[in-house]
Chains A and B, each alone.
Chain A
């Protein structure tokens, strides 16, 4: 699915109001009649210092000129490109700035909803998409930390071992469905679904409470996280 086709599925004709520069999307559009702010990455692009700034600028612009508008965050990024200059300039600080702007938007009353449409990998996902009130993914999205081949290359654990384990441990399986089992996304949407309805409902029901750990426990993908968090909270108050 091309970017145009994808945008059309969510925003119809209003997609023409979204600007895409260097695979970074910013703009405003309409989801089934509701005006929204849009930021995102397309085409599996890398996200770097300039991209983070572009997204942050639009978020701040939205908080200034469009109070209360929901912010839809689309994710199709391969992550950060390993780059000497990016690190020298302090890429981590740029990502933190983008997150801070999103936090400001949240506190100002903007709902944040993410849809992973393509690649949603590691740092690229953490630096904005995973910060939303509610996170969704298309069933065709490549969501996760890294495919087992890459994991094998770094950890020196044989691909076959990781693959076998991934059949029992969804955390090691790459994809939208296992990520949802861990509570990382609320729901996986088939691309054939009524995506306008899905996104409208997602915006309507979004809440700023982070319930990913509870969801991961419920679905069986992360059996320890929620309980350990709760135990820490209980023990710390003694």
Chain B
């Protein structure tokens, strides 16, 4: 199972592949029937878990709180129950001083549930920072085709760390929205290569938005998570000042770049075509040690 590409696994399969064998104990599992009260009124089928499986597990023997979003269910979007489960899980992690690992696969707030999912995500972001204040590791794993968008893109970016595969994307506006707004000649949402280069794991890794980039297997994702458990990303004046400078320089250097290949070239990649096709490990090996 750990050999299958992570992005092809379903949420519960990802949990099974990443957690130690038989270690996952689901909290409020499907028989509890905590389902959306909005979707039935819109003629849309509900899901027993409202698109989020949460629970205890161990990874490499370390207890973690683990959640996986179900991308196929309304695009992995976050409604009232879904967000409440997420908030409860992250708050449990803060309370128990146990690392929190989120397997993200979401387009963001569930439109069908309006502002309830929006407020829920805002609460979840507060809970993530409560974990960080307590020195509890928070990790967002982004390795699916749906990626982490909108409010979930923001939440993922607020965690201590992000583990990404080249398949994962982090963004705020989705490709179709950008195309509609800017026109197809500026942004063609059907150009997968471009979409993934703009928002995908490799570019995020080069820019320092993803601390860990791993190959496609669930085993590699698990190893990536293992390398981060117990660690924290500092949130002090020095760290924030450094980040401010880095983000300002990023705008300065690449704000007028016409293509992400310019970012890759600036990072020291001499053969962009090959690097585009490289596995994550080979890609990382071609990068010089200094960040752009």
Contact = CB atoms under 8 A, between A and B. Distances in A.
Contacts of A223: 37
A57 B245 CA distance: 10
B41 interface: yes
A182 B116 contact: yes
Interface stretch (B11-19, B218-226, B253-261, B266-274): B253-261
B139 interface: no
Most buried by B among A56, A154, A210: A210
B171 A87 contact: yes
Interface stretch (A31-39, A144-152, A198-206): A144-152
Interface residues of B, number: 83
B186 A84 contact: yes
A21 interface: no
A93 B56 CA distance: 28
A64 B84 CA distance: 36
A121 B199 CA distance: 23
B97 interface: no
B156 A92 contact: yes
B250 interface: yes
A52 B209 CA distance: 16
Nearest to B34: A228
- A-side interface size class: 35 or more
Dominant SS among interface residues on chain B: helix
28 contacts: A56-B244, A82-B180, A82-B181, A87-B172, A88-B203, A92-B172, A95-B157, A96-B157, A97-B243, A99-B125, A104-B240, A123-B154, A125-B118, A143-B115, A144-B114, A151-B111, A169-B38, A173-B114, A178-B115, A210-B123, A212-B122, A213-B87, A225-B119, A228-B34, A229-B88, A232-B28, A232-B91, A232-B92
Interface of B: 27-28, 34, 37-38, 41-42, 54, 56, 65, 80-81, 83-85, 87-89, 91-92, 95-96, 109, 111-123, 125-127, 129, 132-133, 148, 150-151, 153-154, 156-158, 170-173, 177-178, 180-182, 186-187, 198-199, 203-204, 207, 209, 235-237, 240-241, 243-244, 247-248, 250-251, 254-255, 257, 260, 263
The 5 closest A-B pairs by CB, nearest first: A232-B88, A96-B157, A228-B84, A171-B114, A82-B173
